[in-house]
Amino acid sequence: MAKKQVTFADIAEYTHFSKTTISRYFNHPDSLTLENQEKISQALDTLGYKKNKLAKVLANGKSEFIGIIVPNLYLHYYSEMLTQLLSSYSNYHYKFLVFSSEHGAEEEQQYIEELLSYQIEGLIVLSHTLSSQKLASYQIPVIAIEREAEYISSITTDNYMGSLQATSLLIRDKCDILIHINVNVEKTVPAYDRIRAFEETCKEYQVPYDIDLSVSGNSYQEILNVIRRIFTRIEEKYPNQKKGIFLANDTYANMFLNLIFQKYGKLPPTYEIIGFDNSPIASESILPITTVGQQIDVIAQTAMELLVQQMEEQKKRAPKPLEKPIHKQITPVLIRRNTTS
């Protein structure tokens, strides 16, 4: 601590006011005469005052902190979401304490304890490790984004609508066989709706379909190998049919497209491909990929609105916690590019 901080006491002494008046200068300036405002204002920069928000928080209980827990930032979806959340600073002036966690529940609970000890007013959770029941038990406004959220409020993409749009496009384009490629997602996860919608839509329109949930792996290479296997299988099984492939995300879609290109040097008319997420890879691919675009900005914005609302409620004298969690769905948009006709 080089030189001690300048405090209200110092300013008060210097200006011959009381600390209270200095406090008021910041919080209710109109209650001072213009003359005195000016005096204090002068004193502030001759003394070089710098405010101390922590002291303020301790005194009034409003930390303006929001905790965020993301699984990682490697996936574009998460880093983009974080960007959008951070950018809400200009509207709400909440500060964000960010933790990245995907190594188990204990670690994550520790992080939350730590966050709580900093008096965060709210929490945004994107990781999947803790149950919503556990999260609800912390007695603090929580918003889940795209995860299981039975006991807490949440924002999710309308996965059903997204998948429906993709599937419909493939049907409209007269594909002979529709194929959905995905990991074996749990039914509690919102993204499971992508599988549901695909299947139900295919059934409704009575088109043949094939659902392959064999994707797995922790590295790009591992996953690529699985996709290659799937590609081979499809090539063998549906040789002369027009294949409409709907993949769980753009990374898979890009892999699949690359395999096709490596074999044929182009995208033959017997293939249509649709991804999910509208991540950068979808446009950077050898052929810009048609994809279901998640409206990450809208999701982030909605999450903040919901959270702010609940945090405001907490500040009232008799805060009424939500009777039921609020769940909102954001409709994704189909972005047509060059892998569909």
Four-point Cα dihedral 267, 273, 274, 278, nearest 10: -30
Decide whether 32 or 267 has the Cβ nearer to its own copies.
267
Q: Point out which residues pair with 149 in neighbouring strands.
A: none
Residue 312: contacted member of its own copies, DNA, none (CB under 5 to 8 Å, by partner type): none
- What is the DSSP secondary structure assignment for residue 187, as one 8-state letter? T
- Judged on CB neighbours under 10 Å (0-12, 13-18, 19+), 82 is buried
Q: Point out which residues pair with 243 in neighbouring strands.
A: 177, 271
| Residue 184 sits in the site that holds DNA (CB under 7 A) | no
Strands, E assignment, 101-151: 122-125, 142-145
Decide whether 39 or 233 has the Cβ nearer to DNA.
39
Q: Which two tokens stand for residue 61?
A: 């209980």
Decide whether 7 or 270 has the Cβ nearer to DNA.
7
Decide whether 25 or 271 has the Cβ nearer to DNA.
25
Residue 9: contacted member of its own copies, DNA, none (CB under 5 to 8 Å, by partner type): DNA
Specify the stretch interacting with its own copies by CB under 8 A; choose among 33-41, 145-153, 234-242, 248-256.
Answer: 248-256
Per-residue x/- track, 25-64, DNA (CB under 7 A): -xx--xxxx--x--------------xx--xx-xxx----
Size of the site for DNA (CB under 7 A): 27
Residue 105: contacted member of DNA, its own copies, none (CB under 5 to 8 Å, by partner type): none
Decide whether 9 or 105 has the Cβ nearer to DNA.
9
Strands, E assignment, the chain: 65-70, 95-100, 122-125, 142-145, 153-157, 177-183, 209-215, 243-247, 271-277, 290-293, 327-330, 333-335
Decide whether 52 or 184 has the Cβ nearer to DNA.
52
Amino acid making up residue 324: K
Specify the stretch interacting with its own copies by CB under 8 A; choose among 19-27, 156-164, 267-275, 279-287.
Answer: 279-287
| Residue 261 sits in the site that holds its own copies (CB under 8 A) | yes
What is the rounded distance in angstroms from the CA atom of residue 82 to the CA atom of residue 134?
23
Q: What are phi and psi of 11, to 5 degrees?
A: -65, -40
Residues found near DNA in the complex (CB under 7 A): 4-5, 7-9, 16-21, 23-24, 26-27, 30-33, 36, 51-52, 55-56, 58-60
